Structure formats: C-alpha cells, structure tokens
Structure 1
Amino acid sequence: MWERYRDRPIYLDSNIIIYAIEQGSRSTQTMYEMLSAIDADVLRVVTSELTIAEVMPKPISLNSPDHLAKYELFFSPSSPILTLPVSREILLASCHVQAELGIKPMDAIHVATAMAAGCDYFLTEDHRLGRSIAGDLKWLQLSEFS
C-alpha cells in the first residue's frame, strides 16, 4: 500500500501522529502499516517541531507516562521521522502561505515546513486544511488507505 510513495516524501500533520500514537482510532491498521513502512525505509516522512508542541500537552496534562514515552520515542533523534525545526525561513515562508491560502498560522507553518522539506504529499485528517492545500503539495487522507 505504501510502496507507491517510496522516494516521495510525505508530511505528517499533528492529527496523524496522534492517531499513530493513541492506537484507538478507526485507522489503527492503516497507522500500523504506515509505521511499519517507515521503519522498513519504504516511506520517508517529515513533520515539524511545532508538532511536538501540539501533541504532547495532552498526555502531560493527563499524567500518562506510557503515551508520553511513545511520543518522546517518536520524536527522538534516532527516529526515522524527520522532524524539522521551526526556523526563521520557515516562519517567513509560512507568512506567504497564510496570505495565499487564508489558513491559520499554525497550519501555515506545517505547510511551509512540508514545502521546505520537498514533500510531495501532506497527510492530514483536517479537511478544511486539506481542501486549502494547492499546487505541488497534494492532500492525502487516511480514508484513501483504509
């Protein structure tokens, strides 16, 4: 299923990472297959350090050490997931993305990061954001893989 995306980097939005870690979504099998493809070097994925700030507060507030440990492993330096910093260049590019697409600043940072990383695809379950993405970056949804 993921083989067709080999050598075509995919950006993972925050909600996808939550689905992958939380293991309770309707897409658990799809997430398992995606993570296996990442581990097998079939799939190259990218996200932003901004994602860390979006996904980790909940397990911290719920005092859920198991979930927190999974997130920490996901974002560790040894992880096959490329986690890019929110640089000044990304922030400036996000201003243009926000102005062009009319999306929220946080979403614009994600899109700008995906573009800077040379991603071909943007995997998100945020339909509003997905419909806004245009140009060389193509929107993917989990339902396409179920």
Structure 2
Amino acid sequence: MGRLTDLLGQRVYLDTNIVVYAVEGVPEFAPAVRAFLRCVDSEEIHVVTSLLTLAEVLVKPKRDANNALVTAYKEFLSPTASLTLSPISWEVLDSAASIRAERRVKLPDAIHLATCCLEGCSSLLTNDSTLAIQDVCRVVLLSDIAGE
C-alpha cells in the first residue's frame, strides 16, 4: 500500500510497467501516472530505473518499426535532475543472483529489485503485485495510488 504523498522527498524506483504507462498512456492509470510525473517534474520525487528498463521497453516498438515510440521512450528515459538511469553493474548482478537464490523471481525482476536497493530507493513503484510479495524492498502499487 502507498500514497503519492508518502513518496514526496523520496528516491523511487520505477518498474518497467510504470514507464510503459507513462509513455504509452494507459487510460485506467493515466490520472495516477500524471500526478506522479508532476511530482517528478517539480523535483518533489527523484526517480531511478535500470538501463534494463530501456532494453525492455524498446523491444516491441523496434519489432513494429515504430520509430516515434522508440524516440518517445528514449526521451522519457534520458537522465535529468530528477531521473537517474542506473547501469547494470557487477554489484547489481551479484545482488540479483542472491535475490534469485532466495526467492522465486525472474532475472529481470531480480535486477530491478537489486537496483532499487543498491540505489538507496525508499520504494519501488510498480503495478506488478508479484513484486510486492518478494519482501526485498518496499513496493508501492500504482493501483493503490490510482485508488486514492
């Protein structure tokens, strides 16, 4: 559970699905995503995501030869004062392997969880409820924020 106001002044990790909602606009979550992004734009929230996110979101637009969407994702994920794009380092991969050894989680999710922890994020914002049960870091579901 979480509220948008609980994230103010924090470093928040963005899961890939949140980036998709932000760039492609999923109507069900559009108001919550817009409210969250206003806080990011005003630097009330600092967001972090992994370079893995870029690789994940570009697959479908590249497959579909949708260059406009490729550009939109690259622009959205360009580092700014309020967005850090974290590299996949040896330390991240080692931590991800430990997470996978202890829990039933796919490698991409383990990389996201490890990066969230290593980047000192207070929360991971996602709409994937399976991440909430991993007990690695505090997970905030977008659906909870959308229900505020």
TM-score by length of 1: 0.90
CA distance in 2, matches of 1:4, 1:126: 19
Instruction: Count residues with an aligned counterpart.
Output: 144
1:101-144: CA deviation from partner (whole Å, max 9, x where unpaired): 22111111110000001111111111222222x15x21111121
Structure 2 SS opposite 1:140: strand
CA distance in 2, matches of 1:33, 1:96: 35
More contact order relative to length (CA 8 Å, sep ≥ 6): 2
Over aligned residue pairs, what C-alpha RMSD do you find?
1.6
1:20-46: CA deviation from partner (whole Å, max 9, x where unpaired): 110134101111111111010011111
Residue pairs, 1:1-146, within 5 angstroms: 2-78=4-80, 80-132=82-134, 134-135=135-136, 137-146=137-146
Name the amino acid aligned to 2:138.
K
Name the amino acid aligned to 1:117.
E
Structure 2 SS opposite 1:145: helix
Asked if 1 retains the 8 angstrom alpha-carbon contact of 2:12 and 2:125, the reply is yes
Structure 2 SS opposite 1:56: helix
Structure 1 SS opposite 2:116: helix
Any unmatched runs of 5+ in structure 2?
none
